[in-house]
Structure 1
Amino acid sequence: TPGGFYKGNSARERVWKTQAKKAVFTVPKSLNAAGFEEAPGRYRLITLRSNDQFNTTIYGYSDRMRGIEGRRDVLLINPGEMARAGLTEGQRITLVSDAEDGVERRLEGLAVTPFNLPDGCLGAYYPEANPLVPLAHHDEASKTPAYKAVPVRIAA
């Protein structure tokens, strides 16, 4: 069909296919659905895709969204957090999983890269950072891995 075809969008059309004919919202059991607990020296690792990536297929090494060219072995960190941790730009570090499940998971050789992230958060590319994600670290209902809240520590 030229121009495609319209599948419809009940939410946009304000048609709620529920018994009450209204939208139904659910509330998580806890405010921290990923199970992430704050602790001294613990960071929340968020895994990222580059703009030239689809799922685990990497088409290039030019992440125009973040200004990173030619590499994916980077650890993105807030400049203030970087200073507090005593890290320098380009320094090679190791990330260690801090999941408290008795399994040691490490990702070595990441280059410290300043980036505008919230305090306490780190960023690394997916799938390179997958080895740090515990198998049990997922949503209870969907079983989707919690790639946006992986507890890690920095080993310089």
Structure 2
Amino acid sequence: MGAMHRLSSGDPAPDFTLPDATGADVRLADLRGRKVVVYFYPAAGTPGCTKQACDFRDSLASLQSAGYAVVGISPDPPEKLAAFAEDQGLTFPLLSDADHAVAAAWGAWGEKKNYGRTYEGLLRSTVVLDEHGAVTRAQYNVRATGHVARLRSDLGID
């Protein structure tokens, strides 16, 4: 795979329509008018992804008070997302990007290295959008632990 395009501040966010945990389609365009935190995570139910999702869950009220919606995207099928959301008490949308086309368009799919092996995979990433769908912040290869607290600090949210 060639060079990957990552989103930068000022870029328009690529639109998408993806199924949520119930199988219902969610369109990014339907969130226009709100600021949105879109985060990409590799796999529901794994320790790092659970930690990150629970951090977003625990910060949801303060993010929403500041006008932000939160959306999580992974390659998991809707059934796995539904079980993950129920197990962890997640009340924000989790979307299924099974073919990782949205992750690729957003710069969150690319080369990874683990234990000396190189492969293509989902890069833990967070992109913040303004009310018009423009990128205000794009962070790639973020750590699961502590990321949400840093993001809140960067956004000026207590």
Class of the TM-score when normalised by the shorter of the 2 chains: under 0.3
After TM superposition, the score normalised by the length of structure 1 is 0.27
Q: Which structure has the bigger radius of gyration?
A: 1
